[in-house]
Structure 1
Amino acid sequence: MEYILNPWPWYVSGPLIAIVMFALLYLDKTFGMSSNLRTLCSMSGAGKKVEFFKFDWRAQRWNLVVVLGAIVGGFIGHHLLSNPTDINLNQQTIKDLNQLGFENIGLSLLPPELFSWENVFSVKGLLILIIGGFLVGFGTRYAGGCTSGHAITGLSSLQLPSLIAVIGFFIGGLVMIHLIFPLIF
């Protein structure tokens, strides 16, 4: 049982991802989470008001299994396969997070300074959710897909726009964590 609680090694998880990608390429399907949101909106009738949601959502029903798998897999991973150990962080990272007001660093993947209900429902928390949600939605639509779609499907099928998008995601992440995040906290 101890082996199950440790992260899967690259030589197990990597080939599993590759097998899934080969199957999707063979079946002429694409993988990505943002397309599921479009499918759900179309299913709920958004196509009556917005042209973007007018498409045959029934052809994308298979992709909704990805959402279900992410939810069920996350639940199983957290509740049944997690090994509750402290997270080994660099001392400089701990020092930087302490200066930003974080306590108990490395004890949880979801620090309460960000993820407690009290912080989420504060004015600052709601603004972060609304602005961040808008930027993610706009960016996903503008880039023609989300991080998982571009980084997994797009790169595995050697698409140049996906390479450019993934480079943009990394640059955006670096700008966020080094320039914007310290201003928010």
Structure 2
Amino acid sequence: MKTKRWSWFKGGVILGALNTFIYYLGQRLGTSGAYTKTVAKATEFFSPELVKATFLAQPGGCDAGPVDAAMLTDLRVDWQWMVVLGIFIGAFIARKLTGGGAGPAIPDTWKARFGNRSWIRYVQGFAGGVLLLLGTRLAGGCTSGHVISGTSRLAVSGLTFGLAAFAAGIPTALIIFKQRRTD
């Protein structure tokens, strides 16, 4: 079943408007900071010493700085968590508006390359997510923080990360699926 697609131009205008609004609030668009803060608070329950030695001492998240110690006493749903929630809500709305369905659990391109075993797809998806979060910690921020906010502010880190992401991502996708998309 073919679904209608949203205009990339309209999506870009909406994203640009959101980025401009966030800029005037003195923030940067990004979500990895929300995960970092939540994991720090959960870890504090089991080992406060570990939190002091890692989260409070090491840089990380979209702000590329250590977690604020005040956060450990005041964990709340902030604007970054609202962005995380908005990702899920936005995906649901997009699916409904474009007439998209759940889709197949295993797309044809996956079957052609790796077979019909869904557990392999789920394990690879989970491993990819773990590697993505590890990469965000190493890079000092997430894709939205670096590429969308960083590039629009002409930050060297944003420009470098954006170029590196595309330089690595496109060949990797072509190698994994061994074909080019034709539609």
Q: Scaled by the length of structure 2, what TM-score is found?
A: 0.66
Q: Percent identity?
A: 27
Q: Show the counterpart of 2:13.
A: 15
**Residue pair 1:150, 1:165 contacting (<8 A) in 2 also:** yes
**Residue pair 1:154, 1:162 contacting (<8 A) in 2 also:** yes
Residue 88 (structure 2) aligned to one of 71, 74, 82: 71
Which structure shows the higher helix fraction? 1
Q: Show the counterpart of 1:121.
A: 119
> CA 1:178–1:19 in structure 2 vs 1: closer, same or farther (change >3 Å)?
closer
Task: Quote the offset at 1:40 in angstroms.
Answer: 2.1
String of CA shifts for 1:105-135, please: whole Å, max 9, x gaps. Answer: xxx58644659xx84434x752x34543343
**Residue pair 1:6, 1:83 contacting (<8 A) in 2 also:** no
Q: Scaled by the length of structure 1, what TM-score is found?
A: 0.65
Residue 99 (structure 2) aligned to one of 83, 99, 103: 83
Q: Distance in 1 between matches of 2:163 and 2:6?
A: 27
Q: Distance in 2 between matches of 1:110 and 1:152?
A: 30
Residue 30 (structure 1) aligned to one of 9, 28, 36: 28
RMSD over aligned Cα atoms: 3.3
**Residue pair 2:106, 2:118 contacting (<8 A) in 1 also:** no
- Number of residues of Structure 1 aligned to a counterpart in Structure 2: 151
Q: Show the counterpart of 2:153.
A: 157
> CA 1:32–1:119 in structure 2 vs 1: closer, same or farther (change >3 Å)?
farther
Residue 143 (structure 1) aligned to one of 105, 117, 139: 139
String of CA shifts for 1:125-169, please: whole Å, max 9, x gaps. Answer: 52x345433432222112111222211111111101110011110
